[in-house]
Amino acid sequence: MTDADYPVEGLPTPDPSYGPERVIGIQLDALASNDDPVPNAGIGTAYNFASPANRRHTGPFDRFVRMVEGPRYAPMIDHVEAVRGPLERDGSQAKQRVTLTGAGGRTATYEFGVSKQSGGRFDGCWLTDRVRVV
């Protein structure tokens, strides 16, 4: 990976022992307290779990932060509740719907799409390919 800003230091990173539900949960937990322990730590954690293809499309990190802070994904930041639907898994692909409630009561539903990487630096790691509003 040629991304000089990857991974964001001091934040959780992918591990082959993490299943798809845990990978999504790590990101949701981090985004719920985005500025803990440092500003944009939650967004940085999400960036660390983005697949290489995802990061090529959404990175570098500064651009990723702007995207998450934008209107489509801002409800993820500092949400107060996350209601997760069942994980739908098909081999090395999985998806899960999550409805987030912000501090002001606004809700937004997203679908996380993750895949188990094969080969390379992330062999065996589940990483996020996409998060779409549903």
The total number of structural domains that make up the chain: 1
* The model scores a pTM over 0.75: yes
Q: Is residue 27 part of a domain?
A: yes
Bridge partners (DSSP) of residue 126 are: 116
Q: Is residue 96 part of a domain?
A: yes
Query: Among 78, 77, 97, 74, which residue's Cα sits nearest to residue 87?
Result: 97
What CATH number should be reported for the domain holding residue 115?
3.10.450.50
Q: Please check whether residue 116 is in contact with residue 125, taking contact to mean a CB–CB distance below 8 angstroms.
A: yes
pLDDT tens, 100-117? 999 889 999 999 999 999
Q: Is residue 118 part of a domain?
A: yes
Bridge partners (DSSP) of residue 56 are: none
pLDDT tens, 45-95? 999 999 999 999 999 999 999 999 999 999 999 999 999 999 999 999 999
Q: Is residue 3 part of a domain?
A: no
Give me the domain span that covers residue 121: 20-133
Q: Is residue 115 part of a domain?
A: yes
